[in-house]
Amino acid sequence: MARGGAFGAMDWNTLPNFLAVTALVAVFASLLRKPGSDLRLGLVAWALIVVHFGAVMFDASGRNLAATLVRSLSLDLAGLLFLWAAVSKRITFEGFLGFCSLAVPQLAFIALGVANVQPNGAYLALALAGAIVILPAIVFWRIIHAAPRERLLATLACLLLAIAILVVVRFDSNPWDGADSIFSWLFLGAAVLYWRRYQRATAGVLTLVFGFIAWGLVWPIGDALAAWAPNLHIDAADWNIPKYVVAIGIILTLLEDQMERSTFLALHDELTGLPNRRLFEDHLASALARARRSGTQVALLAIDLDRFKAVNDSFGHRAGDEFLRVVAQRFQRRIRTSDTCARLGGDEFVVIANGIEGYADAERLARDLAATLAEPIRLRSADVFAAASIGIAVFPENGDDAEALRTAADSALYVMKRKNRRGDRLVSDALAPNRPAYRN
């Protein structure tokens, strides 16, 4: 972009942008304190945008090398952090290594451009080195876990980026064009990765993606206008509009995520992610309605973990929560997609098994669920064995409506727990009403 003014003069026109982005950082910092929000990377990125605007205020002439360096490097780091935030919510060591693999050659490239280092061979070497370093981290480290086709496309994208930088630097005497191409790639890449992350056409996501696309196109459009329409004047503030579009998109996306999470938690257990009592009752009513129409049977398995209080007392409530999560995951992996496993509270679970063929089928499922608990659960460097009592009720034999079926399953569970307290079983038993118990 064009620069002008006297050396050392302040660009007070940038002050509103500086204050506005500072206010956005304060908003994002307040959102960071809310449960379920992870904006650390994005917050740092916006803080760097504040630094960028602050440096612009001290770089009205374009001849203040220190301010030019700060404004350029902060913008590059912000773009890299937006990329990182697009592919990962957590800050990990592997993520930091991937970030550095991209940041080091880019920052060195831009620093050379600011210092106007000649000849162009230095830029060529950095561009090539950047491509070589980028390839193992293809569009960030996460891509190594992607499918071979995605890995190939990402590799080609990185190579094309390196070639573009080489061409620009080789045939243009202005090293800034190479830096501009890096900035453009970063924000266009952020648009692609954010779309790939969310993949939903909501107002927040579309605004966010469009804002990053517009942000990435600022540099090529500015260069094109300077070459083909030099008399067309666009106010500097207009070039900053995409930044605010991105900020609005982020806020809308966070609100959408919060609404989606609230809807999920209204129907699911927050600890395990399983359906809660409300959703369980809805699924049970639907299962019984389908069974009546088709003349099939439905089994209801009431499950209660044995000695769970001892786990909480011995290892603490956090370990107890992890214990419940592991048990829930094992139950969920065992049932069919057409069945439902729900947590009613505490250590109480329930399973709805559709389309069974009598008690024998339900008992097999109970045995399988009990078998999933045979493997110990690791808690604080100790192996803890889970055990469960399971009561079985089958529609329509033990109840012709949801309430009667729940009562029958609870009654069977109570009988089984009483037997367990007497030590009549080894690990887990399932007992159907008026049916003999069995041992593992």
CATH code of the domain in which 427 resides:
3.30.70.270
Q: For residues 139 and 101, what is the distance between their CA atoms, to the nearest angstrom? A: 11
Degrees, nearest 5: CA angle 101-107-108: 100
Whether residues 159 and 42 share a domain: the answer is yes
pLDDT (tens digit per residue) in 10-23: 777 788 888 888 99
pLDDT (0 to 100) of residue 133: 52
Q: In terms of residue numbers, what domain contains 301? A: 277-431
Whether residues 405 and 344 share a domain: the answer is yes
Which of 267, 300, 327 is where one domain is finished? 267
Whether residues 262 and 281 share a domain: the answer is no
Whether residues 198 and 312 share a domain: the answer is no
Whether residues 96 and 234 share a domain: the answer is yes
Q: For residues 395 and 289, what is the distance between their CA atoms, to the nearest angstrom? A: 11
* Count of domains observed in the chain: 2
Return the CA Rg of the chain. Answer: 30
Tell me, yes or no, whether 437 lies in a domain: no
Tell me, yes or no, whether 379 lies in a domain: yes
Whether residues 219 and 256 share a domain: the answer is yes
- Sequence-ordered list of residues with C-beta below 8 angstroms from that of 31, at least 6 positions apart, any chain: 37, 39, 254
pLDDT (tens digit per residue) in 274-328: 999 999 999 999 999 999 999 999 999 999 998 888 888 888 889 999 999 999 9
Tell me, yes or no, whether 299 lies in a domain: yes
Q: Which regions in the chain score pLDDT beneath 70?
A: 1-9, 33-38, 60-62, 94, 98, 118-178, 420-440
Instruction: Look at the alpha carbons of 119, 122, 123, 124 in this order and tell me if their dihedral is positive or negative.
Output: positive
Helix-, strand-, coil-residue percentages of the chain, each rounded to 5: 65, 10, 25
Whether residues 221 and 98 share a domain: the answer is yes
Tell me, yes or no, whether 110 lies in a domain: yes
Q: Residue written as tokens 């090529």?
A: 220
Whether residues 209 and 179 share a domain: the answer is yes
pTM for the structure as a whole = 0.72
Let me know: does 367 contact 311? Beta carbons within 8 Å: no
In 337-417 the beta strands, taken as DSSP E runs, fall at: 340-345, 348-356, 377-379, 382-384, 388-395
Which of 267, 292, 325 is where one domain is finished? 267
Which of 267, 297, 316 is where one domain is finished? 267
Whether residues 241 and 96 share a domain: the answer is yes
Whether residues 167 and 295 share a domain: the answer is no
Tell me, yes or no, whether 355 lies in a domain: yes
Strands 297-305 and 382-384: unpaired
Tell me, yes or no, whether 218 lies in a domain: yes
Return the H-helix or E-strand segment holding 265: helix 241-267
Tell me, yes or no, whether 5 lies in a domain: no
Whether residues 60 and 110 share a domain: the answer is yes
pLDDT (0 to 100) of residue 408: 95
Tell me, yes or no, whether 272 lies in a domain: no
| Exposure b/e, 214-246, CB count within 10 A at least 16 = b | bbbbbbeebbeeeeeeeeeeeeeeebbebbebb
Whether residues 371 and 425 share a domain: the answer is yes
